[in-house]
């Protein structure tokens, strides 16, 4: 995608240094940040410098490539195995992270004790994960674009645009494609508490693409659905269970329930790397609970250009911060993948998931 006319991906490797768009700086400042080691890369995932299913999947893969480049010849495989554990422990919910780590591990193990070849294989495999993610998201746009009718008003939740993947995104990819094909679209952007990925990231992307939109409080989406001002909902996913249940940013389930009550089709867009056949249902998906400071405090830019946090809850109040919730398959009109649109069902998932 373009930033001021320059093409960027969300994450890429230069030598042994990982380059990331510093997402907490957006939307007011665009900056690239360096992660010299796999330990730095793990920290970037856990602190959400990079976030979004596909983006952390590619970041995890590149982190494994960094580990292969860093590892001493003696104890090479032990070092790499420990790096895999370090990276896997950063975020528990997004399936793409584990897919990316395993893809690079498999490439390394295939080279046996040939350390030089294993290093090269790790870098190639990580790049393959990133390239595949970008290509899959572009294909999601092609498959999802025909669903969107001219003049439709679309609701989305959290950020599932190109910042959440290597390029193009999942939920926003069909919207970008529809807009580029001349369809008139309008997007209701849930702000997405507590970190504001909708108001900070999705809105920034839509501004860059010139897509008409409005940022709304999370609680307002049902109001616009009830008033007939929403024609469809499209969201991303961090993990899809074998039965078609979907884990996505907290608040997605509420949006799906209200959409169902108002007869509005609710779609999920995700590459097949997000499907976890080892999770029978959504109840088996681990849900990350993040620190209460994200609820207790809010970060933002002051009028004089300082990035500061302010307290938003009483210091003595307890806070809870689940990062995701699960939307049952029965609420989902279809899942848009790079292989086409499939039903949210065991049969639909078995048809497309990547073995």
- 217-227 pLDDT tens trace: 999 999 999 99
Longest dimension (CA), the chain: 66
Between the two ends of the chain, the Cα-to-Cα distance in Å is 29
Average pLDDT over residues 117-131: 98
- 283-293 pLDDT tens trace: 999 999 999 99
Q: Band the pLDDT of 355: cuts 50, 70, 90.
A: low
Same domain, 59 and 167: no
CA distance 278 to 284: 9
190 part of the active site: no
Same domain, 178 and 296: yes
CATH at residue 319: 3.40.50.10470
CA distance 100 to 18: 15
Q: Looking at 132, 218, 238, 325, which residue is catalytic?
A: 238
- Residue that is last in its domain, among 116, 138, 160: 138
Residue 1 is predicted with a pLDDT of 83
- Residue that is last in its domain, among 138, 167, 194: 138
Same domain, 111 and 87: yes
pTM over 0.85: yes
Residue 354: is its pLDDT beyond 80? no
CA distance 99 to 93: 12
Q: How many structural domains is the chain composed of?
A: 2
CA distance 94 to 80: 21
Average pLDDT over residues 119-124: 98
Same domain, 215 and 323: yes
- 242-262 pLDDT tens trace: 999 999 999 999 999 999 999
Q: Provide the residue range defining the domain that includes 79.
A: 2-138
Residue 232: is its pLDDT beyond 70? yes
Residue 225 is predicted with a pLDDT of 98
What is the chain's mean pLDDT, rounded? Answer: 96
Same domain, 132 and 148: no
Same domain, 160 and 213: yes
- 26-53 pLDDT tens trace: 998 999 999 999 999 999 999 999 999 9
**Backbone torsions φ then ψ of 184, nearest 5 degrees:** -85, 115
CA distance 206 to 202: 6
The answer for 225, left when phi > 0, alpha when psi is -120 to 50, beta otherwise, is alpha
User: Distance from CA of residue 58 to its chain's centroid?
Assistant: 11
CA distance 77 to 133: 27
């Amino acid at each position: 995608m373009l930033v001021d006319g320059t093409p960027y991906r969300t994450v890429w490797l230069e030598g042994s240094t990982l380059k990331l768009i510093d997402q907490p700086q957006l939307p007011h400042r665009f900056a690239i940040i360096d992660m010299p080691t796999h330990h730095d890369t793990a920290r970037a995932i856990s602190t959400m410098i990079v976030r979004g299913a596909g983006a952390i999947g590619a970041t995890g893969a590149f982190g494994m490539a960094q580990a292969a480049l860093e590892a001493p010849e003696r104890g090479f495989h032990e070092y790499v195995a420990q790096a895999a554990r370090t990276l896997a422990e950063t975020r528990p919910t997004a399936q793409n992270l584990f897919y990316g780590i395993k893809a690079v591990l498999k490439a390394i193990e295939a080279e046996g004790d040939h350390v030089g070849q294993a290093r090269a294989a790790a870098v190639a495999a990580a790049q393959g994960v990133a390239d595949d993610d970008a290509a899959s998201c572009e294909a999601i746009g092609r498959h999802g674009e025909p669903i969107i009718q001219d003049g439709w008003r679309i609701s989305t939740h959290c950020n599932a645009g190109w910042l959440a993947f290597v390029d193009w995104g999942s939920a926003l990819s069909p919207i970008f494609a529809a807009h580029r094909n001349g369809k008139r679209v309008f997007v209701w952007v849930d702000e997405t508490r507590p970190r504001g990925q909708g108001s900070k990231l999705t809105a920034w992307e839509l501004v860059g693409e010139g897509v008409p939109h409005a940022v709304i409080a999370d609680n307002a989406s049902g109001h616009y659905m009830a008033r007939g001002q929403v024609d469809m909902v499209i969201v991303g996913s961090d993990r899809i269970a074998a039965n078609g249940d979907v884990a996505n940013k907290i608040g997605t389930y509420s949006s799906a329930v209200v959409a169902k009550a108002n007869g509005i089709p609710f779609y999920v867009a995700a590459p097949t790397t997000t499907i976890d056949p080892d999770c029978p249902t959504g109840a088996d998906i681990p849900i990350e609970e993040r620190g209460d400071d994200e609820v207790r405090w809010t970060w933002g830019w002051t009028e004089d250009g300082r990035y500061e946090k302010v307290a938003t809850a009483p210091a003595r109040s307890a806070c809870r911060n689940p990062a995701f919730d699960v939307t049952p398959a029965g609420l989902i009109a279809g899942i848009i993948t790079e292989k086409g649109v499939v039903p949210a069902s065991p049969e639909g998932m078995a048809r497309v998931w990547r073995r």
